[in-house]
Structure 1
Amino acid sequence: MVDMLLRRYFRGPHVSWAQAVHPVADDERGLLVWLPAGAGFACRTEPDGTPLRDAPAIEDYGAAPLRRRTWADRDVLILHPPAAAHSVWWFFREGRFLGWYVNLEAVLARHAGGIDVIDHHLDIVVDPDRTWRWKDEDTFAACVDRPGFWTTAESLAIRAEGSRVAAKADRGEFPFDGTWQDFRPDPAWPVPNLPPNPL
């Protein structure tokens, strides 16, 4: 298995984030990757350098610069379940499990060297006790029927996907059953770095 995959997020046709991740497994549970603090990362930014997150028009993501950064603060284990329109993130800080994050996104597209997903803004935060809450509902709703984002019908499907995943948390089913909460990376793994051109 290779040491690095490029995980790119798109907003419409524009790469909004690029993350260098280490592949861990690719099996019946899905593609599992490791994003450690210190890994290569890039994102679109505002003129003052803050990440661009809530642009009102899809073209704004193409106009903003993509700046190279370093992933900081938390280590993340990310699972892309097979044919699922979401990923599940396990957050760690200094080896301590902090909780899960469900990122609602289009089913991943694989390519040589990495994977691409289209982000859907709406997310779910799941605490270690499996209580959960929606995140970024206003941003998600504001993009409904805007060019380059999602239609009303698509927004209902996106929210339904989130509800199905949240129900698994309520029931304590995989991936919210304790799996990988004690995950530790192989110390021999190199810190993944972005390629020269992450676009």
Structure 2
Amino acid sequence: MVFAPGRLILHRDLHHGRIAFVHPGRVVSDDDRGLLLWVARGSVIAVETTLDGRHPRDLAFADWMAAERAPRIARWQGPGVLRFFPPGENHSVWFFHDDEGVFNRYYVNLEEPGVRWDDGAVAGIDVIDQDLDIVATPDRSWSWKDEDDFAERLAHPDLYWVPDEAAVWAEGRRVIKRIEAGEFPFDGTWTDFRPDPSWPTPGELPAGWDRPMAARS
């Protein structure tokens, strides 16, 4: 399926079928290169927390998985962020900006390829985040991020949703080669992006935001 430019869809991260976050994003483009979304500052989102409001990094992983949890409505706090989902690849690339809207870093989220769904009134893309990430600057220097979290979670294979550690590291190294070579999308593409000023900031999540996870083939 292809999402029309300007349509508001939901970027969702799910673990064992449970919602970790839901972020509404406006479709910038959807073509052979992949899906490009804009998540605006102040957008209403949902994020999973414990019932007393704690987040995953507030607890040891095993304690987090044992705790009662539920999605909580919140708002996207930072500057707006552009998110790119290349088709069939095990990562997405987020373009972060400063408070003045100037691009300042790439954030590579290693994840299972997104699965699209469209229920008519609401649609989206579901991913399974694999926790290990890469941060890169415009000069193409880079660093790994969240290696400790990744290692902690891998120590609990009965609880974790990542079955193949080696595949995640291999995907990261493959993307790093692209970063170092300045290959698309790390070639300056979209770094000067400005959202359409007519796009309203989402003030609520549409009905159906918590629908079951999209089936994976």
TM-score (norm 2): 0.84
| Residue 69 of structure 1: aligned partner | 74
* TM-aligned CA distance change 1:73 to 1:104, over 3 Å: same
Question: Which letter does structure 1 place at the counterpart of 2:206?
Answer: P
Conserved 8 A contact 1:56-1:143: yes
Contact 1:37 1:73 in 2 (8 A): yes
Q: Please report the RMSD computed on the Cα atoms of aligned residues, expressed in angstroms.
A: 2.0
Moved over 3 A (4+): none
CA–CA distance in structure 1, aligned partners of residues 66 and 44 of structure 2 = 20
Residue of structure 1 aligned with 2:157, choices 146, 150, 156: 146
Give the structure 2 partner of residue 136 of structure 1: 146
State the identity %: 43
CA displacement at 1:142 relative to structure 2: 1.9
Unaligned stretches of 5+ residues in structure 2: 211-217
Deviation at 1:100, TM superposition (A): 0.5
What residue ranges of structure 1 are gaps of 5+ in the alignment? none
List per-residue Cα deviations over 1:102-151 (Å, max 9, x = no partner).
Answer: 00000111111101000101000111211100101111122225124223
Question: 2:22 matched to 1:11?
Answer: no
Q: For the residues of structure 2 that align with 1:168 and 1:116, how far apart are their CA atoms?
A: 25
**Contact 2:131 2:146 survives alignment (8 Å):** yes
Q: Secondary structure at the match of 2:113?
A: coil
Query: Once the two structures are superposed, what CA deviation does each residue of 1:18-75 show, in whole Å capped at 9, x if it has no partner?
Result: 1011011110110000011011211112455343246524982883121111101221
Q: Is the 8 A contact 2:104 2:137 kept in 1?
A: yes
For residues 131 and 63 of structure 2, the distance between their equivalents in structure 1, rounded to whole angstroms, comes to: 13
Indicate if the aligned counterparts of 1:55 and 1:61 stay in contact, CA closer than 8 A.
Answer: no
For 1:135 and 1:174, the matched residues in 2 are separated by 21
Q: 2:167 aligns with which of 154, 157, 173?
A: 157
Q: What is the total number of aligned residue pairs between the two structures?
A: 197
What is the DSSP-based 3-state SS (H/G/I as helix, E as strand, rest coil) of the residue aligned with 1:77?
strand
SS in 2 for 1:146: coil
- Partners of 2:97 and 2:103 within 8 A in 1: yes
Residues 62 and 80 from structure 1, CA distance in 2 versus in 1: closer, same or farther, beyond 3 angstroms? Answer: farther
TM-score when scaled to structure 1?
0.91
